[in-house]
Structure 1
Amino acid sequence: MTTQENTKPGAPATQPTARNEQADEARRVYELALEHHRAGRLDIAIKEYARVLKLAPSAPEVYNNLGVALRSAGRPEAAVACYRRSLGIRPGAANAYTNLGNALRDLGETTRAVEAHRRAVKHGPKSPKALYNAGLAFREGGLSKVALEHFERAIKLEPTYALCRVERAITLLQMGEWQRGFKELEIRFALPGRDPRRKDIENWNGSALQGRAILVNYEGDEGTVIQFARFAAVLKRGGAKVVMECPPHLKHLLSSSPDIDEIISVGADAPGVDVQVPLLSLPARLGTLVDTVPEETPYLPVPRIGSSRLDIHPETRLAIGFAWSANWDGRAAKGPKRHGDMMLDDFTELAGIPGLQLFSLERGAGAGDIARLGFQPLIEQTGQTLMDAADLASAIDQLDLVICSHSVAAHIAGALGKPVWMLLDVGADWSWLLDREDSPWYPSMRIFRRTADEPWSATVTRVRQALMDVLKGG
């Protein structure tokens, strides 16, 4: 999902005010700050905005633009303070409330973000951007129907608002209205950089594939590729040669599938291909609904070449893998935490259960949580040794259970048919629908959902009880 700042660096609604030479200097520096901001030189722009505020400390638009720059630079806490100052000087500014809500979402303060967006819509009821950003906040806060209403209002005001139509489609998918949702999702191709199709290859419209080679264009993320790789079997049964495009670290894993004939890197030449279909268009072309998702698992075999063996002790009752970041590369070292990402701190209650042997599948900055918390004797560092998704699949195959947030590990475990317990935040990805403890995508998956009024610790306590029940049952 993509938020939109309601104030872009440009001509301000109000100019900084001061007197005589000080006023002229404030205007000059402000224009300079805007120039750097528009050019993406954020650090310089932030310094210049600060200079303006020393000359004109009561200029609300300067605080608002400074907040935009700070948020873009990955400093949402400071951005929040700037937006609050702007609103303190000029109450009722819808754009500042929208920007405040977006920064609060970055910080995971969903309840406060929703309130800020409510106020933005109150003060700007005819602003499509205010309605759009409010819709994102409502959906992330678990209020999908309210979100859909706001997207609908925005589109009514601006029918060509493609970004809003995409988010409306995603909300429909989350609510289980897949036929309408996937049809509406086709509008994504109108967005810059969102059309993965090749200009010289015919687009597949669902016609017969017997004897034809079809290219599945990469889009979405790593988890979506693994999730939708199941559709290769459907295409194969239709007589097609299946060519799939994917990032390099997924090639080894996907090439093990008997239903995928060829794997190519993203953007590489695809000679001999007859038709193409974007990855996210497959459910629409195949007529897939919630109750008709192909459930055959495992649909990805585990590549054995180059895999390493986990040292699992013979007295271990359950060997469990943990992952707490969504992306393959793990949590970013700087900037706000992605929605749905967790910390190892959230899982510490599970580390004290006897009989468990714990393996970290985490990569990136999140792997440092183990040393930061002093958990080296309790959790074995495995994630940092995994070179690609095939290595991760090999590690998961040796485990009894994977416990994770919404992550690549969850998709791989599900594709292998391994037991996986996934902890989902409020307003999670559309794939997991609403209020379900199971998944139509992965029969081996159990979902633990955090509710809007509880901390992660409460969700993890339920996971701990489920683990104790498993151990008691042998």
Structure 2
Amino acid sequence: MNQSTHSPAVQNRSESEAAIAALQAETAQNPAARRPLATALMEARRWQDAIPVLESLLAEQQGDADSAFKLGNALRHLGRPEAALAAYDHVLRINPTSAEAHLNRGSMLVALGRPDLALGSYDAALRARPTYSTARYSRGMALLQMGRFTEGWQDYAWRFGDPDSRPAPVKLPEWQGESGKTVLVLAEQGFGDLIQFVRFVPWLESRASCRPILVCDPRMVALLGGFREKLILHPLSSPHPPADCYIPLLSLPRHFSADPAALPLPRSYLTADPARLARWSGILGPSPGFRVGLVWQGNPDAEIDKGRSYPLAAAAPLAGLDGVRLIAFQQRHGLEQLETLPEGMTVEHLPDGVDADGNAFADTAALLRQIDLLITSDTAMAHLAGALGLPAWVALKAVPEWRWGLGGEVTPWYASLRLFRQHRRDDWDGMFQEMAEKLGELLAARR
């Protein structure tokens, strides 16, 4: 029997599209086929195509809570929070105790910059379902965004589910604040989170008299080597060393009631490896000019990246400034944008071999020392520059992640960062016009 050359994912996608086509054809004769068609379109993530089908179902039956909920989800995925909010309100008029609709309504209020109003929706979701961990976790992020850190860290602990009933990731009890323990600190989430929160690990020693061991992705061990005198590093790929208990890295602030206004190591806490500094010294050449590194794209497949990556072409106003050299620090995703730059915009490339030895950011940390300014979207590079104490401007969408708050140009997380915020959703052009003005003022002051 011949074996298929198509992957299961391709086969499933083909089968899904065939099923959708068949249902679309059937709806001409059988309007009832619209309901399974809407479900199939949602499962295929064809949000735009699902909307008119769901709207037609709702036009016929205003009490159709399922279609209203699906409509809200489609609009949410398309970045239309106002319309999605109206759809979830429709659901709640039909079913006031829908925990899922209250949760998603809260998420849309957060997306609209109103975490204060979102708290009421999250509370309603929890009244409907007291053990709804996603609602507790989401409420925690809203509280953190509002600067209510003591409450926020408590709710943030629900990101893995109910803290009292979730299975432990290792065969150890979770650390509850006891002193004199050997504690495995388990890195979690993305590289940016590791860089941001590693600063709390020494507090286990200084405030709790514990011996911390940070277990992290082996690709990050080289970068964190400059922090090694304060903690023991252990690669995630190796068997865990003996310990008394464990704690997820981002749970440390909860135990220390951490307010960013009183963070440890406020200026910088990572350093570039001296050998890598020597290796890359002078690699950007002797050309004069103000060197601006650019990072514009996160992982486009990640849900969290929606709306937070800027198009490289938006940075064109920077290229028009006399004496500015733009240098791409982007890796992997988004490099194709270098091929379609606007007329008059030149962006230099980094040399080959950067971070090619399997160590994430280790070479990049050394190269950042050779530029005058980094301009980055909300990616791990913002955290890297801040942890190194190097100047960086962070381009934030209108309502960014909780860690950047809702206003202001400075952040208590990193003294060397300056935050630029969209004044209108998706308006990157306006932001970069503002950046060009500020950079022009900076250059004039240096002359």
Q: Please state which band the TM-score falls in when normalised by the shorter chain.
A: 0.7 to 0.9
Identity of aligned residues (%): 26
Indicate if the aligned counterparts of 2:296 and 2:334 stay in contact, CA closer than 8 A: yes
Indicate if the aligned counterparts of 1:401 and 1:419 stay in contact, CA closer than 8 A: yes
TM-score by length of 1: 0.81
Task: Check 1:376–1:80 CA distance in 2 against 1; reply closer, same or farther (3 A cut).
Answer: farther
Q: Does 1:342 align with 2:310?
A: yes
- The answer for unaligned runs of 5 or more in structure 2 is 1-7
Q: Matched residues in 2 for 1:322 and 1:229: separation?
A: 25
Deviation at 1:179, TM superposition (A): 0.5
Q: Matched residues in 2 for 1:85 and 1:149: separation?
A: 31
Deviation at 1:245, TM superposition (A): 1.9
| Aligned counterpart in structure 1 of residue 235 of structure 2, from 246, 265, 279 | 265
Q: Matched residues in 2 for 1:139 and 1:271: separation?
A: 41
Q: Matched residues in 2 for 1:335 and 1:177: separation?
A: 25
| Aligned counterpart in structure 1 of residue 143 of structure 2, from 166, 172, 188 | 172
| Aligned counterpart in structure 2 of residue 83 of structure 1, from 54, 60, 64 | 54
1:302 aligned partner: 272
1:19 aligned partner: none
Deviation at 1:411, TM superposition (A): 0.1
Bigger shift: 111-120 or 366-375? 111-120
Letter of the aligned partner of 2:291 in structure 1?
Answer: A
Q: Matched residues in 2 for 1:181 and 1:316: separation?
A: 47
Q: Could you say what secondary structure the match of 1:203 adopts?
A: coil
Letter of the aligned partner of 1:150 in structure 2?
Answer: S
Indicate if the aligned counterparts of 2:297 and 2:333 stay in contact, CA closer than 8 A: no
2:390 aligned partner: 418
1:97 aligned partner: 68
Indicate if the aligned counterparts of 2:71 and 2:87 stay in contact, CA closer than 8 A: yes
Q: Matched residues in 2 for 1:459 and 1:110: separation?
A: 21
Q: Could you say what secondary structure the match of 1:45 adopts?
A: helix
Count of equivalent residues: 427
**C-alpha distance after superposition, 1:168-209 (max 9, x if no partner):** 1111111111111111222233269x9694442232222224
Bigger shift: 410-419 or 140-149? 140-149
Indicate if the aligned counterparts of 1:367 and 1:384 stay in contact, CA closer than 8 A: no
Deviation at 1:401, TM superposition (A): 1.0
Q: Does 1:455 align with 2:427?
A: yes
2:39 aligned partner: 65
Deviation at 1:230, TM superposition (A): 0.9
Q: Matched residues in 2 for 1:364 and 1:94: separation?
A: 42
Bigger shift: 380-389 or 299-308? 380-389
**C-alpha distance after superposition, 1:330-356 (max 9, x if no partner):** 434x99962412221322222222211
| Aligned counterpart in structure 2 of residue 223 of structure 1, from 192, 199, 223 | 192
| Aligned counterpart in structure 2 of residue 207 of structure 1, from 178, 186, 192 | 178
Task: Check 1:101–1:203 CA distance in 2 against 1; reply closer, same or farther (3 A cut).
Answer: same
Q: Does 1:144 align with 2:118?
A: no
1:32 aligned partner: none
Q: Does 1:386 align with 2:360?
A: no
Indicate if the aligned counterparts of 1:436 and 1:447 stay in contact, CA closer than 8 A: yes
Letter of the aligned partner of 1:457 in structure 2?
Answer: D
Letter of the aligned partner of 1:460 in structure 2?
Answer: F
RMSD over aligned CA atoms reads 3.0
Q: Could you say what secondary structure the match of 2:429 adopts?
A: helix
1:445 aligned partner: 417
Letter of the aligned partner of 1:62 in structure 2?
Answer: P
Task: Check 1:126–1:464 CA distance in 2 against 1; reply closer, same or farther (3 A cut).
Answer: same
Task: Check 1:204–1:454 CA distance in 2 against 1; reply closer, same or farther (3 A cut).
Answer: closer
Q: Matched residues in 1 for 2:134 and 2:250: separation?
A: 16
- The answer for unaligned runs of 5 or more in structure 1 is 1-35
